[in-house]
Each structure stands twice: as C-alpha cells, then as structure tokens.
Chain A
Amino acid sequence: MLIAVMSGFAGALLAPAVCGAAGKRTGWILAALPGGLFLYFLRLLAAGGAVSTLDWAPELGVSLAFRADGLSLLFALLISGIGALVTVYSGGYLSNHPFLGRWFLYLFAFMASMLGLVLADNLYLLFIFWELTSFTSYLLIGFNHDEEASRAAALQALLVTAAGGLALLAGLVILAGVTGNTGLSGMAASAELLRGHPARVTVVVLLLLGAFTKSAQFPFHFWLPNAMAAPTPASAYLHSSTMVKAGVYLVARMHPLFADDAVWHTGLVVFGGATLLYGGVRAAAQTVIKRMLAYSTVAALGVMMLLFGIGTEAAVHAAVAFLFAHALYKAGLFLVGGAVDHATGERDLRRLSGLGRAMPLTAAAAAVVALSMAGVPPLFGFTAKEHVYAAVLASPAVAAVTVAGALLFVLVALAVGVRPFLGRPLDTPKHAHEPSPSLWLPPLALAAGSLGFGFAPGLLDRALLLPAAAGVLGESLAPSGHAAHGGLVLGLSAATLVVGLGLFFARDRIRGLLGGFRLLSPGEPENLWNAGMRGMVWAAGAQTRAIQHGYLRGYLTLVFLALVLLTAPVLLRHSPEVGRILHSRSLSALLHLRFHEVGLGLLMAVSIGAVVHMRTRLAAVAALGVVGYGMAIIFILFGAPDLAMTQFVIETLTVILLVLAFYHLPAFAPPARRVFQTGNLLLAGSVGVVMALLVLVAADEHHPTALARYFSDNSLSLGHGRNVVNVILVDFRALDTLGEITVLALAALGAYAVLYLKPRGEGGKP
C-alpha cells in the first residue's frame, strides 16, 4: 500500500515530463495511474483489506502504517476512480494551458496525499497526509495565481484548514499522550483509558475543530465556496469526493473512540444540522453554477456529519450510502457545469437554456446525476435518501432539518442539472457545441454509476457500503434492504420530490426573499474571520512598533532592567548569606584598609564621576585616561606587574585613538530630559549595586585555588618560565591567547575595511 501511495507522488513528479511528451493526449495517458490504483483497491476490497507497516520515527510514534478496511477502501476507490475521470477531464478542459504539467503535478500529489490520509493507520501519519492535502489543495486552488481572487481564495482555504489542522495536531498529541499509542486500529481498544479522563473534552473539541474546518462545517464553511476560484476539475475533485470529505473521514475513523461521548455526538448533530440548513439556503440563493454547487456541497457535508453524530447503525449505514451517492452525483454535476461553461462561456444559470439540443450527451449525463441528487427512483441517490430518512426519523427535529435540506437539494439539482438543457436556446458568448469526449465521457461514466448502483443497491451494500459501515462501527452489520424502511419513508421521499419541484419553480422568488438577508452580512463568519486576521496583523504591528522602536537606549534599558530583575530576586532569596558576607567584609575592610588604597579608591571615584560629567569630549577622554592609569596602579599595588605594564601602554594608545576619532565629531548634545535621567540613574545604580554584591559573594571563597598552586608549582619545572602569568599566556592557556590575537587581527582588518571600503558613488573604490 505504501507503494500505491508513493506511486501517486512519483506520478506527480513524472507528470510534467509526460505532459511535455504527450501534448493533447496527456489526460488519457496519465489517467492510467489512478485507473490502475482503482483496480488495485478493488482487488484489496475483494481480498477483504490489507495491512502494511514501516518505521518512520518510532521515537515520536510516527510510523508508515497503512490499513485498508471497508471505510478506507470506500474512500480510496472514490479518490482513485473519480481521480481517473478528473484526470481525463482536465486533459481536455485545460488542453491549451501553458502550465498543464504543473497542474498534473499538483493534482497527483494531492491525490496521493488523499489516499495516504484515508489509508493511514497511525495518528501522526494521518495528520501528515492531512496537512499535505492542505497545501497541495492550496496549490490547486491558487493555480491561476495571476488573479488576485485565486490567490486570496487559496490563502484563505490554506489558513482556515491549517488552523484546524493545528487544533487537530494538538488534539492528537494529547490523545496519544493519554492512550499511550499512536496506532489507529488500536484506538478502539484504548477507549477505556479515555473514558473519564480530564483531557477528554479538550481532545473531542480539538478533533472536531480539525474536522469542521476541513469539511467546511458552519461557521468554517466560507473557504469552500471561495475555493471555486480553482479550475473546475479541481473543484469537482476537491469538493465532491476528496478534500472536504477528509473531515468526515476523520469523524468516521474516530467514531469507535467517542461512540459514547455526549459532546462528540451533540457537537456533530448541531453543527451538521446548522451547516445543512445554512448551506442549502445559501445554495438556493445562488445564480452561478459553481457557487450553487459549492453551497449544496456544504449542505451535503452537513448531512454526513449529522448522520455520524446520530451514530446508530442505521445512521452510519445511511451516512456511507449518502457519501457514496453524493460523490458520484456531485462530481458529475461539477463536471457538467464545467463542460457547459467551457462550451458556452456562460456561468449564470439565468442566461443558460435549451442547451440540450446542442450538447445532448452532456445533457443526458446532467439529467441522470441531477435526478440522482434529487432522489428520484431508481437512481442511487434515491436509495441513499431512503437510508437517510430512515435513520433520522427517530428524532422529529433532526428529521425536519433533514427533509428541509432535501427539498433544497431538489431545487439545486433541477436548477443546475435540468433547467439549462430544456426550453428555448439563448445566445451565449461562445456558440454552444458538444465538447470533446474527454469532457462528456467522465460525467457520463458517473451518471452510469448513479444509474447502475440504483438498480443493484443490495450488491453495493454487500460489496462496499456494509464493510465501510463496519469499518466505522468496529463491528459488522446485517444487510438491510429497502423493505426495512416503512411506507412513511417512501411517503416522505415522494413529498420531498413534489414540494422540491414547487420550490424549483419558485426559485426566483426565493432568491429575492433571501436577498433581504444581506443585512446580516457583517455577522457572516467569513467577515468575522477576515476581521480577525486584520486585527491580528494590526496587533502584531502595534506590538512590534512598541518594542522594536529603533531607539538604542530603549533597548539597553530593557536589557539592563532584565539583568537586574533576573539577578536581584536570587540575591534577595538568599539575603541571609549575602548579609553574612557583607558583614565579614565590612569588618575586614575596617581593619585592613591602608591609606594609599583609600586614596586610590577616591581617585577612581572622582575620575569616574568626571568621565560622566565632563562637558567637553577631550576632558572626558582625559578623565577616562585617569581611570585607566588608576587601574594600572591598582594592578601594581596588588602584585600584577604584567597587567600594569599592558594596561599602561594600552591606555596610552587608547587615548591617542580616542583623540584621533573624536577629532571630527561635534560637541556633546544637551543631555536628554530629566525624567529619563533620573530613571537612567536608578537603573545604572541598581546594576552597579548588583555587580558589587556579586563581586563580594565571589571573593568570599578561600584562595589561592588549586589551579593557582598548580601553575606556580609547574611553571618553571615544566613551563621553563619564571613569569607564571606569561607561562599561562603562552603555554598553559595559549589557546586563549591565540583566539585573542585573532580578535585583534580581525579588529584591525575590520577597522581598515570600515574606514576605506565605501559603496559605489560615494568616492573611493567600490
């Protein structure tokens, strides 16, 4: 199975080359890959599933584990089968597109990710493919990225799904932490561990967030209709059978784990129902083919969530049946819509009429899939709807919602699939004509599917749907034929059709009616989302302007403030010890201090003060020099002649440099405002105090250290030198010195370069 998935990615990489070679025929040739996968999965279905595992990152619990059960295979077959049709279709639809190769690259990469997602048997592996579908679909939706609309739609889709994806990731990490394993098939077993665990609700909410964003549930639905900016084949593929069904798949997969969780079920039922109504109503109000289909897709996804939320055997069975039916007819309708658009250059349903004569084959396909969507017997859509009704009857409220949705489905089906082909032809931008086979064959195939399975529902049940349902529930079901649903269900279906027909004829009035709801648009989730993003960017800008303001002294203030705030508390925490040290020190100070040392201290103090206060640069530099020479004297007094000499010469050179450098600079500017100054004074003071305390703390220990003894013992005998400091510099710790002279060299080169390398146009060589 790993190979099956990888073949998809391999095909993606090869696609551009094939495209370059095959030209017009590309679609047909490339379709061989998904077609082959389709057959492969059929074989797996016959074999009753398969398992394969390979380690990836065991430390993290990530493994390339794949498992094909009924549910996975249902999805896999849809993905590969419809994938093949879409491949053929887009070969014709985009035949003269300059970047057809890239198109197939993205398409196959997406298909492969989708297959991986439904076959994965490992939490993290599932997530990895989940994210892969997110950004491959991003590339598909934004395929025409020269248009602003496409870019925006693609970005929105990516961000919404990615946000959900991160919620999902968080949920999965917590889940894995609780259950202690990341295998999906093992999950059902660990349901016990989760029961009554504090993190349970969090996990449920996070997983649902992931599923809802991906499957465009209200209020996260808005990216889906916008994603119609994608070329039609992509829309057909993403929104009929794949991308948006990933969330549904996740919910189905997780069903055994949360079978008895109230939050899980209510969440699904409520949001599913809301999505169904919202999507249906918005769909009825559309006039453009693709948008109408998009909203009806949203509604359909609502139905599936709703059914999985109910979670009874019947409901799950109905869910998979409806899922299958929807995949067939929705893909068909999208493809037909695309064909019509392609052939006439017209997308507005109000200006499409009487195309049946011009494009009979397309019309035939359209009629069948549309009627299947409407739920007209004997098409499979009818069977599926029977199952659905039977499943929801238990609760009147849910039933009402479902029926209402079904009515709107009838409307949409007739409006998109039937109306444009009947009546008197209108003239369209392009003269209507039957498009090339690659455009009418795929929809026709899907229509045939809807028709065929309508006649043999039992066969389909046994072969595919019941195993799928079993995959969801974790136990197998008894086959349930039509007879199971009583007359009530049948009556409802009939009524749905009649009333739906009525709504269809009244659709213009309905649209007008719904037009009145524009007032609500500020509250539309999409606007809220956009406002949220804008707010985020604004806040980001505000905080960045606030802290990254460009004033060096502001930065330094924060740094030193942090220094004090980090060290002072520790010193306070150990104040007794610090106190003891201070005490002993002050005593020793009184006893041992000598006169010239006090004088030296005063000299230092005065000259330091002078450096701060001098009004002219040269005076300040002179004061700095005094400080330096004071240091040298200290070194002499406390047994460090080498230091004294070095310090003395260096100080001299430094002063010369300072004079050379400041020669050009203007006089000191007037000091900043007093408020600042007092603040600075406080900060500087506290830094000084902290450092002084730390020095005392350090000097508290007994010396000389073991190192000191070792050096003075071995300096002569092993280091051949009586000046221990020098021996340390050139032998014991010569590496320090090496680094140090490197610093010097770099400093010199740097200074030279800074002074003499000038950018072009500013004199000097470039």
Chain B
Amino acid sequence: MELLFAAVVGGLYAAGVYLLLQRNVVKIILGLALLGHGANLLIFTAGGLTRARAPIIAEGALSAPPDTADPLPQALILTAIVIGFGVLAFLLALVERTHQVVPTDDVDELKGTDT
C-alpha cells in the first residue's frame, strides 16, 4: 500500500520538477501545484496510511479507538493545502500582472534583472 502511494508521490514530484524545468510560465505554475499535491500526499503516506476510521470520537465514547487514523498529519495537510491555495492564488495574480507588462509566457524572456 505504502509502495503504491510512494510511487504516486514520486510521480507527482517527478512531474512537478519536470514541468518546473520548462520555459512556459503556465507549466511552471502547474508544476508547483503538482509539487504541492506531492508534498501533501507525502505527509499523508509518511504519517502512516491506514484504512482506519476517521479520527472522530463516536457519540458516547470518550476517546477514539486505537485503529483510527493519525489525526496530526491530517491537520498538517489541511494547513498545507490552504497555504498552498493562498500562495498559488498570489502566484497567479503575479503572472497575470507580469503578462500585462511583459506580454510573454516564456520565462527565458524575463532575464533582464540578473545581468
């Protein structure tokens, strides 16, 4: 099971990196999005995958039974997802604006500031 999802994580990272190495700004954004998914799934898998029940304490019970999923990684991922959303949104705005100023989607044409 971990093997399967480890493979998926690897795939997400590989695809993300590959897209990041392109010249097209849209692909770079997609790459970053994939990288984010990869990180989230990575936490989820590394935190111990169980087909267990959700970490919600049943009515009347005082604590969740031992076979429930680890709630902490879920909390972390939830935070990470939301942060990722915010960052992505900003990035999109930035690209939008950049495109108004420099009408290109080829980041190779954005090398004016280094040299």
A contacts B: CB pair < 8 Å:
yes
Q: Is A747's CB under 8 angstroms from B90's CB?
A: yes
Which A residues are CB-close (under 8 A) to B101?
A: 762
With A608-B15, A657-B92 in contact, is A725–B97 under 8 Å at CB?
A: no
With A637-B51, A715-B63, A744-B86 in contact, is A620–B26 under 8 Å at CB?
A: yes
Q: Is B20's CB under 8 angstroms from A553's CB?
A: yes
- Nearest CB in chain A to that of B82: its residue: A740
Q: Is A543 an interface residue (CB 8 A)?
A: no
Which A residues are CB-close (under 8 A) to B3?
A: 585-586, 588-589, 696
* Interface size of B as a range: 35 or more
Complex interface residues of chain A between 665 and 721 (CB less than 8 A to chain B): 665-666, 668-669, 671-672, 676, 680-681, 683-685, 687-689, 691-693, 695-696, 698-699, 701, 703-705, 707-709, 711-717
Alpha-carbon distance A683/B13, docked complex (angstroms): 11
Alpha-carbon distance A549/B107, docked complex (angstroms): 13
With A550-B114, A712-B55, A713-B63 in contact, is A604–B42 under 8 Å at CB?
A: no
SS of B interface (majority): helix
- Least distance between A662 CB and chain B CB atoms (Å): 6
- Nearest CB in chain A to that of B86: its residue: A747
- Least distance between A229 CB and chain B CB atoms (Å): 35
Q: Is A28 an interface residue (CB 8 A)?
A: no
- Nearest CB in chain B to that of A719: its residue: B57
Q: Is B64's CB under 8 angstroms from A724's CB?
A: yes
Q: Is B10's CB under 8 angstroms from A692's CB?
A: yes
Complex interface residues of chain A between 549 and 578 (CB less than 8 A to chain B): 549-553, 556-557, 560
Q: Is B75's CB under 8 angstroms from A604's CB?
A: no
- Nearest CB in chain B to that of A671: its residue: B22
Q: Is B22's CB under 8 angstroms from A672's CB?
A: yes
Which B residues are CB-close (under 8 A) to A640?
A: 44, 54, 69, 74, 77
Q: Is A639's CB under 8 angstroms from B55's CB?
A: yes
With beta carbons under 8 angstroms apart, the residue of A592, A669, A704 that contacts B106 is A669
With beta carbons under 8 angstroms apart, the residue of B22, B62, B64, B113 that contacts A550 is B113
Q: Is B37's CB under 8 angstroms from A699's CB?
A: no
Which B residues are CB-close (under 8 A) to A553?
A: 20-23, 107-108
Alpha-carbon distance A642/B114, docked complex (angstroms): 44
- Nearest CB in chain A to that of B113: its residue: A550
- Nearest CB in chain A to that of B70: its residue: A708
- Which residues of A are interface residues toward B (Cβ below 8 A)? 545, 548-553, 556-557, 560, 585-586, 588-589, 592-593, 597-598, 601, 604-605, 608-609, 611-612, 617, 620-621, 624, 627-628, 631, 634-635, 637-643, 646-647, 650, 653-654, 657-658, 660-662, 664-666, 668-669, 671-672, 676, 680-681, 683-685, 687-689, 691-693, 695-696, 698-699, 701, 703-705, 707-709, 711-717, 722-725, 728-729, 732-733, 736-737, 740, 743-744, 746-748, 750-752, 754-755, 762
Q: Write 6 A-B pairs (CB below 8 A) sorted by A numbering.
A: A550-B114, A638-B51, A691-B10, A692-B13, A715-B71, A744-B82
- Which residues of B are interface residues toward A (Cβ below 8 A)? 1-30, 33-34, 37-38, 40-42, 44-59, 61-64, 66, 68-72, 74-79, 81-83, 85-90, 92-97, 99, 101, 105-108, 110-115
